Amino acid sequence: MSTIEVRKITKKFGEFVAVRDADLSVAAGEVVCLLGPSGCGKTTTLRMIAGLERATAGDVVIAGQRMNDLSPEKRNIAMVFQFYALYPALTVGQNIAMPLHHEGIGTAEIAVRVNKVADILHLSDVLDRLPGQVSEGEKQRVAVARAIVRDPNCFLFDEPLSRLDVELRHSMRGQIKAVLSNLSKATVIVTHDQLEALTMADRIAIMRDGLIEQVGSPHEVFARPANIFVASFIGTPQMNLIEAEFKGYGNGKATVTFDQQDVDLSVNPAVANLRPGRVTVGVRPRAFSVVPEDTADTIDAMAELIEPMGAETLIHARTKTGSDIRVVVPRDKKVKTGEALYLVPDPAQTHIFAEDGKAVRV
């Protein structure tokens, strides 16, 4: 079975800990995205799975076999590198054929296999060219072709789309997803682009400073972020994170104070167990409804900057003491600069994060 299992893996470079106790399992046919800002250890994790870096501690298990001590060529994996890493001195065709030379199959069979993947990825016309003579999009497809020409245990992608322009990225995202769905292999994709992760992954592992902060489906990490970091990292525009004072809980509502206003917010019942103190309230910009009048459960603010985004309008609103709140309203909702806004957050999308940054939730 094509699976990947990473158990309590740690990588230290000298004193610096690049990855700490990362756990991750990828089932056959599943696509898992490692998502995080630069330097969070996601590429290091991928390179440890590939065997290009040695894990300081922990185990890498691929297809049920512990791989820690095996060199990359013995792990039977395929990897697509960020900068494609095509062999500059070999033609496109020879590049794609390279992994097959170690399979012990005949020249005729190699040609058949190369032509087959070249066909899938529309590379048949450029097989005789050198990598320096093909376009950026073609290079990217050659890199993918070289990975799927074999039948490896798993696929690893390191920022596969980062060098393409927006349009090409869009179409390649679809193509890669289509190719992968036909292969039913465990796949790990490293990316810093949340849109890439949300669209391509079955599950997303969000990393920061060498730690995996949350693993879940795209829906889960978006709708139920485990902590402030995940909440702020996923979703555009960014979730509003408002520092507030938690006063108490009653009737399904939490009373919080911020910027000199007391607001009763409908929140998750688990908040009842929270002691009064500092919390962070998280509300997505699209989770507000604008109501006509000021009540106990509204947040009061003033529209300061209006950014039409096409289908929707982004409003930067400011509370009395200056906190910035981003609100997204439908295009037909007309708001003028300077207008007072009374905002009611959607209870299902209102998150309370305790002082340690973790979401308070049942």
Compute the least distance from the CB of residue 89 to another protein, in Å: 4
3-state DSSP helix/strand/coil % of the chain, to nearest 5 = 30, 35, 35
CA 68 to chain centre: 26
Q: Which residue, chain included where needed, has tokens 């060098």?
A: 163
Please name the amino acid found at residue 122: H
What are 2's two structure tokens? Answer: 């094509």
Compute the least distance from the CB of residue 120 to another protein, in Å: 19
Binding flag, residue 186, another protein (CB under 8 A)? no
Site string for another protein, 146-175 (x = CB under 8 A): x-----------------------------
In the list 107, 133, 236, 295, the residue contacting another protein (rule: CB under 8 A) is: 133
In the list 27, 70, 98, 290, the residue contacting another protein (rule: CB under 8 A) is: 98
Compute the least distance from the CB of residue 176 to another protein, in Å: 17
What are 257's two structure tokens? Answer: 């104070």
CB of 202 within 8 A of CB of 11? Answer: no
Binding flag, residue 131, another protein (CB under 8 A)? yes
**Within 218-277, which residues bind another protein (CB under 8 A)?**
none
The partner residues of 4 in beta bridges, in order of sequence, read 26, 62
Compute the least distance from the CB of residue 188 to another protein, in Å: 13
CA 262 to chain centre: 35
For residues 114 and 204, which CB has a smaller minimum distance to another protein in the complex?
114
* CB crowding 39-65: b at 16 or more within 10 Å, else e: ebbbbbbbbbbbbebebeebebbbbee
What are 309's two structure tokens? Answer: 């985004």
DSSP 275: P
Compute the least distance from the CB of residue 211 to another protein, in Å: 25
Compute the least distance from the CB of residue 229 to another protein, in Å: 29
For residues 150 and 318, which CB has a smaller minimum distance to another protein in the complex?
150
Instruction: Give me the DSSP letters along 97-114.
Output: HGGGGGTT--HHHHHHHH
Max Cα–Cα distance, the chain, nearest Å:
77
For residues 92 and 120, which CB has a smaller minimum distance to another protein in the complex?
92
Instruction: Give me the DSSP letters along 172-207.
Output: HHHHHHHHHHTT--EEEEEES-HHHHHHH-SEEEEE
* Total residues binding another protein (CB under 8 A): 31
Candidate segments 24-32, 61-69, 96-104, 164-172, binder of another protein by CB under 8 A: 96-104
For residues 78 and 283, which CB has a smaller minimum distance to another protein in the complex?
78
DSSP 93: H
Q: What is the CA radius of gyration of the chain?
A: 25
CB of 204 within 8 A of CB of 215? Answer: yes
Binding flag, residue 192, another protein (CB under 8 A)? no
For residues 73 and 245, which CB has a smaller minimum distance to another protein in the complex?
73
Compute the least distance from the CB of residue 219 to another protein, in Å: 33
**Within 36-95, which residues bind another protein (CB under 8 A)?**
47, 50-52, 71-73, 75, 77-79, 81-89
Cα 272 from Cα 107, distance rounded (Å): 69
Compute the least distance from the CB of residue 114 to another protein, in Å: 13
For residues 132 and 322, which CB has a smaller minimum distance to another protein in the complex?
132
What are 267's two structure tokens? Answer: 């929140």
Please name the amino acid found at residue 33: C
Residue ranges binding another protein (CB under 8 A): 47, 50-52, 71-73, 75, 77-79, 81-89, 98-99, 101-103, 130-133, 139, 146
